[in-house]
């Protein structure tokens, strides 16, 4: 069914009484309530998903593709209600690359999971020996999602899992459970019973999911620290893992770049979702020759971007989603200011204002080893580091133990590609940052995780390869 608005959708998913209250990070107002689920609820969900999985697998690829596309249709039929709920719970504005963008992306990525054929691959066929690789369903996949893009990242996890014949049990972030509960409710209006479950609980549920003997694979997006805990707890059952962990992405500007031409894309590379994106640009290295000009042009763009309540159609930047993240950003910026760095914009939050709003902040003349540079801020604050040349920038970019994404900005594609090849990260973008594509594999290097998502590689990562010889 199509819900008329977010409140009607909330009435369908929240408990009649009780539950944990979820508040709007922009206003502090009550958004809704979520039932308090436990490890026992998780056990029941896993058992149900395990029982339903063989029948889902037997439907075959074509029928699963049909149902997933029908589920995408249902997302689109409920797009505005989903976007309103997402804006109220997560804080991101309706407009810009935010709530409506995320809901549209959820439908698009769901369809993308149906766009590839996964056929057996003949490995050897020489007249004497024949061997082929087949891709079989794993069983039940456990998906643990974050609070920054709760709907879209849930789709990144569940769509390829379901396409490949697995059933799924999801644990959303405690900060944004309503968005995921609503999304799953919409999907389950189309999907067969019990192939997709969501259990909205706390740490106990997450720990149980990552160690549960009937979970074949864990897909996790979140911090490196939590990812390491999941890896440890999954070891006894030797689960398959896809881990998309912390970022702190570097951007490197080359001397031939046009500061005015790249300023808008630099801004959105860093400040998409108000900086709350794993693969956002979080430290920018700029050569001395054009440093001042880049700072000037980027500041001009940033000043023009309105921040406020996400339900106001004029805003494109919103609050931090929660107080803990607000405090991290505030502390790191204060540390940079105390060190003598130059504040180009922001860095002076109104402590009396409602909501977790931290102003759009640009920090220049900052040391490469300052905490705002070396620690992932995950918010609307960008340090701009002056370097002598690209060699120094590459050295700084590679100095940290993370490597999710990076970018190179140049008017000379050959030079940009030469620099990109020297950066230790899972993805390097040229003249953009964080522009993911459902057709193109995405995954981290170093302590930013392992395993690929998206495209045919992402589908195959949700299957057990089986060689049949004879």
Tokens of 401: 């133990």
- Residue 338 burial (10 A CB sphere; 0-12, 13-18, 19+): exposed
Q: Which of 102, 244, 297, 453 is catalytic?
A: 244
CA atoms of 427 and 36, how far apart (whole Å): 38
Instruction: Answer yes or no: 63 catalytic.
Output: no
Look-up: residue for tokens 């690209």? 390
- Cα first-last separation, the chain: 50
Look-up: residue for tokens 């003349």? 365
- Residue 375 burial (10 A CB sphere; 0-12, 13-18, 19+): middle
Closest CA to 180 of 277, 275, 102, 111: 102
Tokens of 259: 């500061």
Closest CA to 274 of 383, 152, 379: 379
CA atoms of 436 and 461, how far apart (whole Å): 18
Closest CA to 308 of 87, 80, 101, 152: 87
192: left (phi over 0), alpha (psi -120 to 50) or beta: beta
Look at residue 167 and give its three-state secondary structure: strand
Q: Is the four-CA dihedral 450, 455, 461, 467 of positive or negative sign?
A: negative
Contact by Cβ (8 Å): 366, 375: no
Pairing of strands 427-430, 449-450: unpaired
Contact by Cβ (8 Å): 344, 295: yes
CA atoms of 442 and 109, how far apart (whole Å): 13
Look at residue 241 and give its three-state secondary structure: strand
Max CA-CA distance within the chain? 78
Please report, for residues 72, 355, 417, 433, the alpha-carbon distance to residue 436 in angstroms, rounded to integers and kept in the order given. 19, 30, 18, 9
- Residues 6 or more apart whose CB falls under 8 angstroms from that of 214 comprise 46, 47, 50, 139, 140
Instruction: Determine the distance from the C-alpha atom of residue 347 to the mean position of all C-alpha atoms in its chain, rounded to a whole number.
Output: 26
CA atoms of 13 and 3, how far apart (whole Å): 12
Contact by Cβ (8 Å): 145, 154: yes
Annotated catalytic residues are 244
């Amino acid at each position: 069914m199509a819900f008329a608005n977010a409140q009607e959708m909330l009435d369908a998913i929240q408990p009649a009484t009780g539950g944990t209250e979820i508040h709007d990070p922009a206003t502090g107002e009550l958004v809704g309530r979520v039932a308090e689920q436990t490890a026992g609820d998780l056990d029941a969900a896993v058992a149900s998903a395990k029982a339903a999985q063989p029948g889902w697998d037997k439907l075959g690829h074509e029928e699963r593709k049909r149902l997933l596309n029908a589920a995408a249709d249902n997302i689109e039929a409920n797009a505005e209600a989903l976007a309103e709920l997402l804006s109220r719970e997560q804080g991101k504005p309706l407009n810009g690359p935010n709530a409506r963008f995320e809901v549209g992306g959820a439908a698009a990525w769901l369809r993308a999971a149906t766009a590839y054929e996964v056929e057996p691959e003949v490995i050897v066929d020489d007249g004497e020996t024949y061997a082929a690789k087949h891709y079989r369903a794993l069983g039940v996949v456990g998906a643990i999602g974050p609070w920054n893009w709760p709907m879209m990242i849930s789709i990144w996890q569940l769509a390829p899992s379901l396409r490949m014949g697995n059933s799924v049990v999801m644990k959303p972030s405690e900060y944004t459970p309503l968005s995921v509960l609503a999304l799953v409710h919409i999907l389950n209006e189309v999907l067969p019973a019990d192939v997709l479950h969501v259990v909205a609980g706390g740490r106990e549920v997450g720990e149980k999911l990552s160690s549960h003997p009937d979970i074949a694979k864990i897909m996790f997006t979140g911090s490196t620290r939590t990812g390491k805990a999941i890896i440890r707890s999954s070891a006894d059952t030797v689960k398959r893992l896809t881990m998309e962990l912390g970022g702190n992405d570097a951007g490197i500007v080359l001397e031939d770049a046009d500061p005015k031409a790249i300023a808008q894309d630099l801004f959105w590379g860093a400040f998409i979702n108000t900086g709350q994106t794993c693969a956002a640009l979080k430290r920018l290295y700029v050569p001395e020759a054009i440093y001042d000009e880049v700072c000037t042009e980027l500041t001009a763009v940033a000043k023009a971007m309105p921040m406020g309540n996400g339900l106001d159609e004029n805003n494109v930047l919103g609050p931090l989603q929660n107080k803990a993240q607000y405090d991290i950003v505030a502390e790191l910026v204060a540390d940079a200011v105390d060190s003598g760095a130059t504040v180009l914009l922001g860095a002076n939050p109104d402590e009396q204002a409602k909501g977790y709003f931290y102003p759009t902040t640009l920090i220049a003349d900052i040391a490469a080893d300052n905490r705002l540079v070396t620690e992932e801020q995950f918010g609307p604050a960008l340090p701009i580091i002056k370097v002598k040349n690209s060699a120094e920038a590459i050295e700084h970019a590679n100095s940290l133990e993370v490597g999710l994404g990076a970018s190179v900005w140049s008017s000379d594609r050959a030079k940009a590609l030469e620099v990109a090849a020297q950066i230790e990260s899972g993805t390097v973008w040229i003249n953009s940052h964080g522009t993911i594509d459902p057709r193109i594999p995405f995954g981290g290097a170093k302590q930013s995780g392992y395993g690929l998502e998206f495209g045919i590689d992402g589908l195959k990562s949700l299957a057990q390869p089986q060689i049949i010889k004879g």
